[in-house]
Amino acid sequence: MIARTIAGLAVVGLVLVGCTTKVSGRPSTAPGSESKAPKASSSAKPVQHLSCPQVVDLRAHLAYGCVTDAMTRGISPIWTVKLERPADVNWTMDEGSTDVTGAKGETPAAAAKRMVKRMIDELYGKPLPKTKTEQDADITVGSAHGHLIQTLITIDPAYRQEQHLRVQQERLWLAVVQVAPGKLSGWYTSVPDLLKGLWAEVPDTIKTLQVV
């Protein structure tokens, strides 16, 4: 999606089947990376770690692996934690998390829909892109309830021409998890077609989600 810079406020293709998906909540680490990235543990207090290969976002109470380790910290007007990899001119592949708690009693499904709409409205330029929902399903993250939406985004041709973009489509995965009573947190990744070789990595990354 649109790249943001620190000076100026510097989502992948598998259609899952069924209404409920079980997410194992196991951490993902690259070979030899155990000493670099703190892991969430039931016997030890988790430590904040906001870089790849394993992110621990204590503010959002979520831990997760990276789709690719080739991402560094970025800035987003929506997500308090954002990791990014350049993909095109002013366009990045992203992954991140944030607290998405909204109105009292809002469900993970409603919050996920709200967050997807916000991202489409704010991060994909004008005219707005065309979107196709490829998955809209309840999930569990350990014992926590959540909801996952997968969206295929087709960027408007006029916007692409204006911005000199080669990217044409992007897949966005966005999950919202109830991490505590009355508290919802979100995770997302967005991967443009220029890096579509990474689309197949996303389902395994989703399995690394856990509440901390």
Return the CATH number at 178. Answer: 3.40.1000
pLDDT value at residue 92:
98
What tens digit of pLDDT does each residue of 53-73 get? 999 999 999 999 999 999 999
Strand 169-180 to 183-192 pairing: antiparallel
Domain count, the chain: 1
In a domain, 37, yes or no: no
The residue segments making up the domain with residue 82 are 20-27+47-195
Other beta carbons within 10 angstroms of residue 7's beta carbon come to 7
In a domain, 171, yes or no: yes
Higher pLDDT, 21 or 194: 194
In a domain, 91, yes or no: yes
- Is residue 21's pLDDT more than 90? no
In a domain, 11, yes or no: no
In a domain, 12, yes or no: no
Q: Is the pTM of this model over 0.85?
A: no
Q: Which of 12-21, 35-44, 100-109 has the lowest mean pLDDT?
A: 12-21
In a domain, 207, yes or no: no
In a domain, 202, yes or no: no
In a domain, 169, yes or no: yes
Query: Among 17, 10, 11, which residue's Cα sits nearest to residue 154?
Result: 11
Cα(85)–Cα(83) distance, integer angstroms = 7
Sign of the Cα pseudo-torsion (198, 98, 111, 176, in order): positive
